Amino acid sequence: MQIRFRKGRDFDMGPAAANTPAAVRAVRRVGLEFRGFPGLIVDALVAEGDPLRRGQTLCVSRHHPEIAFVASAAGRVSRIRKGARRRIETIEIAVEGDEECRFDVEPAQTDDAALRALLLQSGAWVAFRTRPFGRIPAPADQPSAIFVTATAGTPLAPDPAQVLAPQLDAFARGLEALLRLTQGAVFVCQPPGPALVTPRERLRIASICGPQPCGLPGPHIHRLWPVSAQRSVWQIGYQDVAAIGDLLSTGRISVDRSISVAGPGCDRARLLRAPLGAELAGLLDETQQSEKRLISGSALTGREQRFLGRHDLEVTVMTPASDAPRGAVRGLVAWLRQSGTGATLPSEAFERLFPFDLLPVPLMRALAVGDIETVERLGGLELLEEDLALLSWRCPSGSDYGSLLRRALDRLAEERAP
């Protein structure tokens, strides 16, 4: 199955990493950021200063204590940072030693319930995100399909075919495990080229091409298996699937991910293998570290944070925003732009950036006024924050439709909760 998207737009953010094997990078600190998990509250099972083995449970979800977050490196808990209402925001680990936990994978090879238990306990479960709502699925949840995103989200992200080439066995084993989590189909969305896995009845391949944001799972799901209030799917990244395959064969969790470090603030784009949650500053060369903004994810959809986000495979290095523009004309233009209007100007450009069969301007208006019924009617349940990044970029009002959508989705999810 081939899908070609025409709408969207690619940005020139500098050269991508060359097709060389990823250099393994040891980091001194890793951290778990909970900002990327909407609607999640966790309870810590460790305290500051505790020694840790790799794979040891750090904390569990308060609503579903079966869902565990595990340490991606051995070491010591150096800090547990709390935010508003004393919710845990980040758990930081100072890396030392190489001790690790082993998991009993025998029962999981045949028993579906044991497989779920293994994924939950080993921290692999949190790689799944549901659509609608973009949350970690409940332990007993049965999705109507699972989407494996094996497309590069942006031009700077690592090439999935290259990353997976040495891990195809593990990837196939991971897909077998995914097939046991759902009654429905497992879709593998990959770039054009040789199929990453042989398709079968419930295992389908879609090759995808098109400009940004067509590498993101949102457009794939919308085209292949649209979700609604009655029908949910899970999405997961290709490296997490390979990690599940590794776990099932070795009994040890696989924490290293191939990530790209690139962007306008970076002298040379490079491909690295670094652990989940690696400290971003540790991924740069020593000489480059001064005065950079590090974004976990792409320039449009990422977040400026200290540690690599759980779902991110890309670090964008930006130079800090320059000072006020110089020159009379540029100053005047900047001044006129600053006095923006705060309302959407419904130009045709939005349709050209939005690869969904949804109506962007009515949706943006509904989001701006917080009308969640209309958001739902216009297909808001099919979207996550990242799908609206280009609309926010283009909109003269300066609204961030991603965070408006998150608010709407959280309210809709609350209404649905039993």
Partner 1 sequence: MSDAPRLWSGSEALVTLVAVSAPLVATILQQGPARLVFLALGLGLATFWHLVFARIRRRWTGWDGLVTAAIFAVLVPEALPLWQQGLALSFGLVMGDLVFGGRGRGFLSPAAVALAFALFSFPVSAGAAPGPASAIAALAGGAALLLARVLSWRVVAGFALAMAALQLLQPGWPALPGATLILGLVFLIGDPVAAACTNAGRWVYGALAGALVALLETAGGGALSSVVFAALLAGIFASLIDQGVIWDNVRRRARRQRHG
Give the residue with the Cβ less far from partner 1, 167 or 212: 212
Of 135, 346, 371, 407, which one interacts with partner 1 (CB under 8 A)?
346
- For CA atoms 365, 368, 372, 378, the dihedral sign is positive
Which one of the spans 100-108, 116-124, 182-190, 298-306 is the region binding partner 1 (CB under 8 A)?
298-306
228 binds partner 1 (CB under 8 A): yes
Of 92, 219, 402, 404, which one interacts with partner 1 (CB under 8 A)?
402
19 binds partner 1 (CB under 8 A): no
Of 51, 199, 331, 340, which one interacts with partner 1 (CB under 8 A)?
340
- One-letter amino acid of 141: D
345 binds partner 1 (CB under 8 A): yes
396 binds partner 1 (CB under 8 A): yes
Distances (CA, A) of 273 to 212, 260, 281, 358, 366: 24, 9, 15, 38, 42
Binding mask of the shown chain, residues 315 to 334, with x at each position contacting partner 1 by CB under 8 A: -x-x--x-----------x-
392 binds partner 1 (CB under 8 A): yes
Give the residue with the Cβ less far from partner 1, 191 or 226: 226
268 binds partner 1 (CB under 8 A): no
Distances (CA, A) of 206 to 180, 194, 233: 20, 11, 16
Give the residue with the Cβ less far from partner 1, 2 or 341: 341
302 binds partner 1 (CB under 8 A): yes
211 binds partner 1 (CB under 8 A): no
64 binds partner 1 (CB under 8 A): no
Give the residue with the Cβ less far from partner 1, 252 or 365: 365
Q: How many residues bind partner 1 (CB under 8 A)?
A: 53
Cβ-in-10-Å burial (0-12, 13-18, 19+) of 89 comes to middle
Of 395, 405, 408, 409, which one interacts with partner 1 (CB under 8 A)?
395
Of 3, 11, 78, 252, which one interacts with partner 1 (CB under 8 A)?
11
Q: How far is 112 from 181, CA to CA, in rounded Å?
A: 7
291 binds partner 1 (CB under 8 A): no
User: Least CB distance from residue 292 to partner 1, whole Å?
Assistant: 12
Which one of the spans 35-43, 81-89, 103-111, 348-356 is the region binding partner 1 (CB under 8 A)?
348-356
Angle between helices 168-179 and 238-250 (to 10 degrees): 90
Give the residue with the Cβ less far from partner 1, 168 or 358: 358
Which residues face 188 on adjacent strands? 148, 205
Of 84, 287, 341, 414, which one interacts with partner 1 (CB under 8 A)?
341
Which one of the spans 92-100, 156-164, 191-199, 392-400 is the region binding partner 1 (CB under 8 A)?
392-400
Distances (CA, A) of 132 to 45, 251, 290: 30, 32, 40
Of 27, 118, 300, 367, which one interacts with partner 1 (CB under 8 A)?
300
Residues near partner 1 (CB under 8 A) are 11, 13, 225-226, 228, 231, 293, 295, 299-304, 316, 318, 321, 333, 336-349, 351-352, 357-359, 361-362, 365, 377-379, 389, 392-398, 400, 402
